[in-house]
Amino acid sequence: MAGGVEFEVIAALFAVAAVAGCFDAIAGGGGLLTVPALLIAGLDPVAAIATNKLQGSAGTLSATVAFARRGLIGWRSALPFAAVAALASVAGALSASSLPAPVLAAMVPVLLIGIAVYFATARRMGDADAHARIPALAFGATVVPAVGFYDGIFGPGAGSFYMVGFVTLLGYGVVRATAHTKLANAASNVGSLALFAATGAVVWPVGLTMAAGAVLGAQIGSRLAIRLGARLIRPLLVVISCLMAVRLLADPANPLRQAAAALLSAG
């Protein structure tokens, strides 16, 4: 037993985290696998989310190291972005009880589908950098804190939102954007993890085991992303964004699903 979970379940969670870490390093969305797995393993929702932040932080940090070793991260701008993302995620987590989560639950699937359409149809999108549309300072003062705050309060799709910002606004090539997304995502994960840890919500034996799997998977995924570039990242990002949107819309508590059900029953 580890944290009230049997060894066989722990082994399965390690494997799930490894697969999720691989996908997360390429296009994000690993929580689609890990959060349901933690709930199935018997963790309550708060513990599942908190423990997922631990394994997610380990995976994104591992991927960041892999991208950094290839010189794909410009630390001069990336570190301030990361600091802002971490602080914003803590603010988001602290505000979680006072902000309208149903509104986010309704908006995020629509935004994710929009991101999927954008990456699927954009003509000029490859590994080469393009012209930035806004200065890095403006990006760090607007997009990064907004996504970091969202990651702390809600979370699904944060990596996709970082990614589209780096590509469309800063003009980063897809691989470089992925590298910087991992660092920003790691920072916002660590920020909210610190808050969860302080409240005692993290199941450490489970989280550390999954963290080891996430690190392994992230190393594999980051190497695939670096080797194959936009040929792999772009289609996988489209698929992951769509799957996250479907997953959120499938939640019976989602306002969009409830509204559709009401319309159907009225008809």
- pLDDT tens-digit profile of 146-193? 999 988 877 777 888 999 999 999 999 999 999 999 999 999 999 989
Q: Given this model, what pLDDT does residue 13 score?
A: 96
Q: Is residue 115 part of a domain?
A: yes
| Closest C-alpha among 141, 160, 140 to residue 151 | 160
3-state secondary structure of 75: helix
Mean of the pLDDT values across residues 49-67? Answer: 94
CA 110 remoteness from chain centre: 17
Q: Is residue 2 part of a domain?
A: no
Q: Is residue 184 part of a domain?
A: yes
Token pair 């944290």 in the structure block, residue: 3
- pLDDT tens-digit profile of 101-115? 667 677 778 888 988
| Closest C-alpha among 72, 37, 19 to residue 182 | 72
- Give the predicted TM-score (pTM) of the model: 0.85
Instruction: Domain count for the chain, please give it.
Output: 1
Band the pLDDT of 45: cuts 50, 70, 90: confident
Q: Is residue 200 part of a domain?
A: yes
Q: Given this model, what pLDDT does residue 1 score?
A: 42
Q: Does 257 score more than 80 pLDDT?
A: no
State which amino acid sits at residue 200.
G
Q: Does 264 score more than 80 pLDDT?
A: no
Q: Is residue 1 part of a domain?
A: no
Q: Given this model, what pLDDT does residue 2 score?
A: 47
Longest Cα–Cα distance in the chain: 58
Where in the sequence is the domain holding 199, given as residue range(s)?
7-266
Per-residue DSSP letter, 91: H
